[in-house]
Amino acid sequence: MLYQRSSALFEEAQKVIPGGVNSPVRAFKAVGGTPIFVTHAKGAYLYDVDGNKLLDYINSWGPMILGHAYPKVLAAVISKAEKGTSFGMPTEIETEIAALAVSMVPGIEKIRFVNSGTEACMSAIRLARGFTGRDKFIKFAGCYHGHSDSFLIQAGSGAVTFGAPNSPGVTKGTAKDTLLARYNDLDQVREMISQNEGEIAAIIIEPVAGNMGCIPPSSGFLEGLRTLCDEYGILLIFDEVMTGFRLAKGGAQEYYGVPADIVTFGKIIGGGLPVGAFAARKEIMNYLAPEGPVYQAGTLSGNPLAMAAGLAMLSELDQQPSIYHSINHKTEYLHNGLESVFLKKGIPVHINRVGSMISVHFTEKNVIDFETAAMAAQGASFNRFFHGMLNNGIYLPPSAYESWFICDALTITDIDRTIDSCEQVVKRW
């Protein structure tokens, strides 16, 4: 496929936008080549400025669970836009979507809407600190909770360690209250709590990691975290920006049967528009201003366009639970087809899948945490695979560290085409 127009646009963008993009993964740094500029999308397909039609496996990094330009979501946004796009005042639709979200997700009684997943996670940590009166929290290497300073921390040496900043601009003072643990390592978490007893406000985790590829929790891991949090008075925060309303109507809490104290949302809850949210039981949420002492605010929070898109999306998922069976079946079908192709060719891969999230890791070993994901990402295999599939009109996440997201607009015919393309690519391996 030709991408001459995209290349020209990228050159122009770099003159006025840092790196030519407004979010780093879009720059194709991880895979090489030139990012693709999109004109529009419909269903399971993207259309770019060079006239190419691409089968989409990122779906705006998750929110397009029903496919691009879903008619009911579009209609809701257009109707709302005709009445004004922002007021900075309460609107009835905020209460409508809040009530629906609370009815769908177990264990939450109140919800606060914000403008991004980053803002939701940042606010959840502040709320946990305010509620518990403690400063420290545990996060897991490879889990991404947005670009707030507290979360941009890399692991240090040793099993029990304070974090160190891994982005300039993040101070050591901020980093000292962030403890880094290995994903799926319950013993390390237990040791960290023992070493910092009475100081930890929260444990925040992606219940299914989506930023080191798709990595599921090992058996008993989430349950073990819940037990530790109960024992030591720590709040368990599920970052469900990716998994919320995707794994099930009630997200990972419903899927795994493990309750969290605070849950953060994004992606699907806005129907593709910029939005985030965090939620918990009343006694925690009542600590938020204006009811409580923990301050959080946003001029565009509860924006009517985002609320309309989110309400339309959640209503569809609430009224058609068969959608989850459909997308999970399609993802399983894709998994089996790709795995068969790689096995026949003798190319070692490990494919992780949970619900409609999936990722291909070029390794013989199980990928269970950031370290094993990083080892699998070494070498040129994923980059070759990415560009081979792209040349066949299949758009995958341009990084080995990202989950793929399946939408319900994807057909079995589309998946068969994807599997056939994979076979063509590995024949040239």
* pLDDT number for residue 165: 60
CA–CA dist 355, 52 (Å, integer):
29
* pLDDT number for residue 72: 98
CA–CA dist 53, 58 (Å, integer):
15
Average pLDDT, the chain: 94
CA–CA dist 335, 356 (Å, integer):
10
- The number of helices, as runs of H, and strands, as runs of E, in the chain is 14, 16
Residue 326 — very low, low, confident or very high, per pLDDT cuts 50/70/90?
Answer: very high
Is pLDDT at 109 greater than 60 in this prediction?
A: yes
Is pLDDT at 262 greater than 50 in this prediction?
A: yes
Give the Å distances, CA to CA, from 90 to 102, 300, 304, 314, 341. 19, 11, 9, 20, 54
- In CATH terms, 4-69+321-427 corresponds, of 3.40.50.150, 3.40.50.300, 3.30.2290.10, 3.90.1150.10, to 3.90.1150.10
Task: Dig out the tokens for 212 from the structure.
Answer: 């080191």
Give the Å distances, CA to CA, from 201 to 114, 194, 230. 22, 14, 12
Task: Dig out the tokens for 41 from the structure.
Answer: 């999308």
Q: Classify domain 71-319 by CATH number.
A: 3.40.640.10
DSSP 64: -
CA–CA dist 252, 108 (Å, integer):
13
Q: Side by side, which strands form the sheet with 45-48?
A: 38-42, 45-48, 53-56, 394-395
* pLDDT number for residue 162: 43
Task: Dig out the tokens for 97 from the structure.
Answer: 């979507």
By CB neighbour count within 10 A (0-12 exposed, 13-18 middle, 19+ buried), where does 69 fall?
A: middle
Cα–Cα nearest to 373, from 207, 61, 142, 138: 142
To which residue do tokens 């985030």 refer?
276
137 CB contacts (<8 Å, ≥6 apart)? 125, 128, 129, 150, 177, 178, 179, 200, 201, 202, 203, 204
DSSP 209: B
CA–CA dist 410, 331 (Å, integer):
10
Contact call for residues 312 and 50 (beta carbons, < 8 A): no
* pLDDT number for residue 87: 95
DSSP 22: S
* pLDDT number for residue 153: 72
CA–CA dist 339, 351 (Å, integer):
7
Give percent of the chain with pLDDT exceeding 70.
97
Beta-bridge partner residues of 65: none
Beta-bridge partner residues of 351: 360
* pLDDT number for residue 168: 79
CA–CA dist 281, 393 (Å, integer):
46
Catalytic residues: 144, 239, 267
* pLDDT number for residue 155: 34
* pLDDT number for residue 157: 26
DSSP 294: B
All CATH 3.90.1150.10 domain ranges of the chain, comma separated, are: 4-69+321-427
Residue 364 — very low, low, confident or very high, per pLDDT cuts 50/70/90?
Answer: very high
Mean pLDDT for the stretch of residues 9-19: 97
Question: Helix crossing, 92-104 with 304-319: angle to 10°?
Answer: 30
Is pLDDT at 163 greater than 50 in this prediction?
A: no
Which tens digits make up the pLDDT trace of 42-76?
999 999 999 999 999 999 999 999 999 999 999 99
* pLDDT number for residue 149: 81
Which tens digits make up the pLDDT trace of 120-159?
999 999 999 999 999 999 999 999 999 888 887 753 223 2
Task: Dig out the tokens for 425 from the structure.
Answer: 């690519």
Phi/psi region, residue 307 (left: phi>0; alpha: psi -120 to 50; beta: rest), is: alpha
* First and final C-alpha spacing in the chain: 19
Total residue length of the chain: 429
Mean pLDDT for the stretch of residues 258-270: 97
Contact call for residues 25 and 56 (beta carbons, < 8 A): no
Task: State whether residue 108 is helix, strand or coil.
Answer: coil
- Which secondary structure element, helix H or strand E, spans residue 420, and what is its range? helix 412-427
All CATH 3.40.640.10 domain ranges of the chain, comma separated, are: 71-319
Largest CA distance in the chain: 63
